[in-house]
């Protein structure tokens, strides 16, 4: 029963800070940090329990009982959940500590803490859910929290737009997710995970005619439809192509929240969901292929965009999209354990990278353009070294956590038939790009001449907060910010040595059951290492040895550069295809329908009544004799009627 406290502690922190934030003010972290720390300790104990024995099942109370529809609030903690619990509480705890320094003196300090506590609570409930409805509710709740936090600086229009964009794009995916859950109830008559999984095999042969409403005939496997609908939700939440557009814009929020969204909560939910529902996905090869291809496409696509972005957080954001693609790809190929392994190591080093970005941004007074950085290595040594460790892990440098997990995915992919081998090649290409752009950041932002306060390569005006003479005063942020960096840097290395895939393997089976042999393991490992190292080497060549080279290449491949720099024009395409038409139709409905019909009808009724009453009120002359005449005439009429007609 004590494990119920894992989510409830952050929730209590949210309630207390949310209600009394006005009095708590700058002391908000004294409530939030211990709450998350308590969750972490309980998660450790849950982890120990689960590692030794059976999964923990717990029913808190009966939520909805209506006929055959029966939903509980309950927890199901197996090895997968336990690992996720540790990831969420560790990263969230460190982000909480980091926030103390990052948000110091901000007006929304207690509000921020209450929201990240709520965020942590929602994510913990999501991973601990034992039924689909609870999953869905907290799936939406993390979406809501991300909206609130991305829009934390609500007086900035860009932040509000980004928050709305994140919410709306997620809604698109969640629509499919909701349909999927309804279909599950229609097919299985229950929303409990274990009952659904137990019945899943019995409906494997059934089909559903997806063109029935249109009068057509196209039978598709029931489970395929189901898995694809659920996957739509994962595409939205885990920022896969084509719903990836919200994640880079989510950078408008304060940096700790970027770390939280990108590493522990929110985006990992999609990958987690696919792994959790592995028994369903395993029964539908078609759905798994879709998952794998979407993942591979996302990995490569996002990596090409990250190559040319100039905002330090945006590069890291696209790297997240790309790495999420990797995880999806692994899940789609049945290598769930490898996917979750990468999710966990990625959680560590991506949180690290974002928090480093936050340190740089604070040190430079909210400057985010890497062209106006440079030479920060000497001034921010802790940030520099931790950032390098994070980048090495992201680039898959040998013996870092990212190396092991990425390698695991590639090896599994290579043994996955023709599709798997194609995707493994895509993954290797992505690994090269990843190494290149992550070290582009390292070299441009931390090495070379200091360009702080200058116009940078763009020749634009220097930012308002930073005059050139201030460049000498750059220094490391406070201890509350550097300690989380060091802890995460440690995790970014050691998570590779903890035997996570072996730990997860018993609960996450691929469709083939026992794993096939990995005869290609060593060659793949060598190739992956070469890819990573050559990516770093090319970045070194481009940005340290001959800095004029990128400029020349840009001129030469102007077209390609433009595609990457403008993110393949996806935003522009969506704007033309969806946003503009929606706005147009809404405008049309507003003017032609709302104003012209509805408003006219309502106002017309009111005007008609007013017209009548204006003529009728003339009777009220205020002269007593007029009223007396009325009375007399009335009496005459009544008498007349009585005498003439009723007798």
CA gap 226, 181 in Å, rounded? 8
521-540 helix and 417-441 helix, angle to the nearest 10 degrees: 30
- Contacts with another protein by CB under 8 A: the residue count is 11
**DSSP state string for 375-417:** --TTT-HHHHHHHHHHHHHHHT-TTSHHHHHHHHHHHHHHTSH
Is residue 516 within the footprint of another protein (CB under 8 A)? no
Is residue 628 within the footprint of another protein (CB under 8 A)? yes
Min dist. Cβ of residue 629 to another protein (A)? 5
- Is the four-CA dihedral 486, 488, 494, 496 of positive or negative sign? negative
Among 464, 618, 645, 646, interactor with another protein by CB under 8 A: 618
C-beta of 418 vs 624, nearer to another protein: 624
C-beta separation of 218 from 209 below 8 A: yes
Min dist. Cβ of residue 634 to another protein (A)? 13
C-beta of 610 vs 618, nearer to another protein: 618
Is residue 617 within the footprint of another protein (CB under 8 A)? yes
CA gap 150, 166 in Å, rounded? 8
**DSSP state string for 523-549:** HHHHHHHHHHHHHHHHHHIIIII-THH
Stretch that binds another protein, among 400-408, 500-508, 561-569, 618-626 (CB under 8 A): 618-626
Is residue 637 within the footprint of another protein (CB under 8 A)? no
Among 59, 576, 621, 639, interactor with another protein by CB under 8 A: 621
CA gap 258, 351 in Å, rounded? 8
Which residues in 18-77 contact another protein (CB under 8 A)? none
Secondary structure letter of residue 369 according to DSSP = B
Is residue 610 within the footprint of another protein (CB under 8 A)? no
C-beta of 514 vs 624, nearer to another protein: 624
Q: Residues with Cβ < 8 Å from 158, sequence gap 6 or more?
A: 252
Radius of gyration of the chain (CA): 30
Is residue 625 within the footprint of another protein (CB under 8 A)? yes
Strands 219-221 and 207-209: antiparallel
C-beta of 449 vs 623, nearer to another protein: 623
C-beta of 52 vs 620, nearer to another protein: 620
Min dist. Cβ of residue 617 to another protein (A)? 4
Is residue 624 within the footprint of another protein (CB under 8 A)? yes
Which residues in 198-237 contact another protein (CB under 8 A)? none
CB atoms within 10 A of CB 203: 16
C-beta of 60 vs 633, nearer to another protein: 633
Stretch that binds another protein, among 66-74, 153-161, 226-234, 626-634 (CB under 8 A): 626-634
What's the CA angle centered on 103, arms 102 and 109, to 5 degrees? Answer: 155
Q: Tokens at residue 316, please?
A: 């890291």
Three-state DSSP state, 237: helix
Min dist. Cβ of residue 621 to another protein (A)? 5
Q: Residues with Cβ < 8 Å from 60, sequence gap 6 or more?
A: 4, 72, 73, 74, 75
What's the CA angle centered on 191, arms 188 and 186, to 5 degrees? Answer: 40
Is residue 155 within the footprint of another protein (CB under 8 A)? no
C-beta of 189 vs 640, nearer to another protein: 640
Stretch that binds another protein, among 12-20, 342-350, 368-376, 625-633 (CB under 8 A): 625-633
What's the CA angle centered on 513, arms 509 and 514, to 5 degrees? Answer: 100
Min dist. Cβ of residue 616 to another protein (A)? 10
Is residue 622 within the footprint of another protein (CB under 8 A)? yes
Three-state DSSP state, 130: coil
Min dist. Cβ of residue 606 to another protein (A)? 19
Min dist. Cβ of residue 631 to another protein (A)? 10
Min dist. Cβ of residue 575 to another protein (A)? 57
Tokens 């039924």 map to which residue? 131
Question: For binding to another protein (CB under 8 A), which residues are involved?
Answer: 617-618, 620-625, 628-629, 632
């Amino acid at each position: 029963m004590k494990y119920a406290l894992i989510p409830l502690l952050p929730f209590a922190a949210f309630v207390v800070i949310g209600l009394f934030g006005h009095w708590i003010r700058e002391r908000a972290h004294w409530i939030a940090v211990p709450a998350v720390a308590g969750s972490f300790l309980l998660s450790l104990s849950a982890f120990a329990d689960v590692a030794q024995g059976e999964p923990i099942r717990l029913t808190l109370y009966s939520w909805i009982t209506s006929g055959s529809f029966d939903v509980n609030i309950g927890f199901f903690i197996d090895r997968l959940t336990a690992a996720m619990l540790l990831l969420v509480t560790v990263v969230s705890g460190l982000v909480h500590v980091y926030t103390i320094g990052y948000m110091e003196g901000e007006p929304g300090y207690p509000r921020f803490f209450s929201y990240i506590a709520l965020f942590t609570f929602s994510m913990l409930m999501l991973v601990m859910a034992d039924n689909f409805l609870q999953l869905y509710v907290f799936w939406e709740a993390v979406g809501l929290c991300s909206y609130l936090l991305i829009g934390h600086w609500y007086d900035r229009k860009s932040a509000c737009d980004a928050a709305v964009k994140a919410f709306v794009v997620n809604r698109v995916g969640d629509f499919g997710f909701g349909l999927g859950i309804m279909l599950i109830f229609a097919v299985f008559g229950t929303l409990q995970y274990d009952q659904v999984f137990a019945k899943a095999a019995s409906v494997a042969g059934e089909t559903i005619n997806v063109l029935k409403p249109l009068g057509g005939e196209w039978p598709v496997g029931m489970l395929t439809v189901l898995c694809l609908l659920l996957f739509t939700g994962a595409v939205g939440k885990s920022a896969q192509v084509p719903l990836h557009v919200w994640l880079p814009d989510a950078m408008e929020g304060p940096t700790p929240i970027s770390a939280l969204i990108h590493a522990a909560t929110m985006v990992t939910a999609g990958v987690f969901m696919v792994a959790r529902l592995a028994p369903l996905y395993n029964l539908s090869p078609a759905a798994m292929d879709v998952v794998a291809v979407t993942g591979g496409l996302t990995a490569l696509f996002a990596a090409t965009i990250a190559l040319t972005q100039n905002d330090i957080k945006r590069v890291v954001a696209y790297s997240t999209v790309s790495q999420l693609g990797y995880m999806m790809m692994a899940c789609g190929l049945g290598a769930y354990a490898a996917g979750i392994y990468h999710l966990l190591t990625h959680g560590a080093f991506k949180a690290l990278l974002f928090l480093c970005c936050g340190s740089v941004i604070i040190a430079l007074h909210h400057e985010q353009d890497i062209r106006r950085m440079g030479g920060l290595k000497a001034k921010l040594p802790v940030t520099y070294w931790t950032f390098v460790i994070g980048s090495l892990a992201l680039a898959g440098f040998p013996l870092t956590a990212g190396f092991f997990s990425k390698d695991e995915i590639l090896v599994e992919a290579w043994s996955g038939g023709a599709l798997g081998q194609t995707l493994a090649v895509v993954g290797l290409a992505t690994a090269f790009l990843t190494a290149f752009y992550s070290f582009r950041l390292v070299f441009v932002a931390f090495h070379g001449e200091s360009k702080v306060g200058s116009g940078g390569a763009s020749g634009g005006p220097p930012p308002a907060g930073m005059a050139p003479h201030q460049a000498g005063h750059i220094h490391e942020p406070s201890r509350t910010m550097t300690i989380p960096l060091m802890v995460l840097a440690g995790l970014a290395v050691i998570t590779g040595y903890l035997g996570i895939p072996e730990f997860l393997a018993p609960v996450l089976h691929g469709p083939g059951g026992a794993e096939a042999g990995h005869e290609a393991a060593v060659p793949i490992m060598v190739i992956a290492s070469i890819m990573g190292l050559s990516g770093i080497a090319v970045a070194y060549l481009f940005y340290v040895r001959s800095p004029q080279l990128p400029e020349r290449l840009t001129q030469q491949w102007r077209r390609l550069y433009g595609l990457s720099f403008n993110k393949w024009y996806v935003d522009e395409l969506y704007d033309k295809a969806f946003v503009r038409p929606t706005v147009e139709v809404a405008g049309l409905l507003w003017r032609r329908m709302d104003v012209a019909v509805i408003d006219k009808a309502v106002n017309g009724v009111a005007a008609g009544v007013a017209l009548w009453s204006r003529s009728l009120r003339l009777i009220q002359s205020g002269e007593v004799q007029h009223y007396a005449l009325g009375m007399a005439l009335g009496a005459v009429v009544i008498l007349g009627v009585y005498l003439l007609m009723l007798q």
